[in-house]
Each structure stands twice: as C-alpha cells, then as structure tokens.
C-alpha cells in the first residue's frame, strides 16, 4: 500500500493495554514492527489487545502511547467484585436501578458506607472529575 492510500481516521473509545513485560514476545503471539524490534529494549512500551479477540495483541512504543493515550481511564460501570475496598470513594449501582454517590468500603464494619449489603450492589465506577471552569481549571466545592 502506498503512502497516498493512507487516510486519517478518528479514534473512538479507549483501548485495552498493559505494560510490556520481559518475555511477552515469546509467550504471546505479539505483533511488533520492524522499527520497534530494533529498539535496545521493548521495556517501557505497552501491549494492546483487541477487546473482541484477546489473541490479537500488538506492541505500542512508549512515546506513541504517551502522545496518544495517557492515563488509565475507568469511566464505565465495572462489576462490583472489582471495586476497591481500601477506602477509595466511588459511586455504586443498586440492583433496583439507582446510583449511590460518594461512598466507600468500611473495612471495619465490612459494608459500604451507604449501608447496602453486597447482594444489593451490582456495579461501581470512579467518581467523575468535577466540571471545568471556562478557563479550563477545575473548581472544587468548599
């Protein structure tokens, strides 16, 4: 394919990725470009995978990842089994269809601070960031 046949496409959503680990290249069927194979090390890079086919994995150079992806984003509802139980404030979803905001796991009482039992809670998600002001800065409540 010639350079003139390439077109720019907008990226949608997010990707599933994890840091590259020593030995990944031999353990997995991992696609790595010729240029990346010439790097002194692949450590510091990332392994991305197709969410519909976990055998389809490829290497992402650290510079490319930093420029195009950034920090981990968990902004979707996750199964409650994966919820942090270390006192981190989160939002919960009740089985009867309502959201519970700004709660956390109380390890002493072994219950969510909203006092619903685990069987009533189905999902969790991080508390969303506050809205930005017109100048782009976040304004926290006082």
| 28 and 47 both lie in a single domain | yes
| Residue 73, domain member (yes or no) | no
**Please, how many CA atoms are within 13 Å of residue 85, restricted to the half-sphere of its CB?**
10
- pLDDT at position 133, please? 64
According to the model, what pLDDT value does residue 115 have? 73
21 and 62 belong to one structural domain: yes
Find residue 125's DSSP bridge partners.
91
| 36 occurs within a structural domain | yes
From residue 127, how far is each of 107, 115, 121 by CA, in Å?
20, 18, 16
Structure tokens at 30: 């991992």
**Predicted structure pTM score:** 0.49
> Using one digit for the tens of pLDDT, what is the confidence trace for 32-58?
999 999 999 998 899 998 878 888 999
Q: Is residue 7 part of a domain?
A: no
Domain range for residue 99? 78-126
pLDDT, averaged across the chain: 81
pLDDT in tens, 61-98: 999 888 887 666 556 788 888 888 888 898 999 999 99
């Amino acid at each position: 394919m010639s350079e003139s046949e390439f077109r720019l496409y907008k990226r949608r959503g997010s990707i599933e990725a994890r840091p590259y680990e020593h030995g990944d290249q031999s353990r997995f069927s991992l696609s790595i470009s010729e240029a990346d194979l010439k790097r002194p090390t692949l450590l510091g890079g990332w392994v991305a995978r197709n969410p519909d086919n976990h055998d389809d994995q490829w290497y992402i150079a650290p510079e490319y990842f930093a420029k195009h992806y950034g920090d981990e984003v968990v902004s979707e509802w996750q199964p409650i089994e994966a919820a942090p139980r270390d006192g981190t404030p989160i939002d919960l979803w009740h089985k009867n269809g309502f959201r519970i905001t700004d709660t956390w796991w109380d390890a002493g009482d072994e219950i969510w601070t909203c006092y619903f039992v685990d069987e009533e809670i189905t999902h969790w998600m991080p508390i969303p960031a506050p809205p930005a002001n017109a100048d782009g800065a976040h304004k926290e409540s006082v």
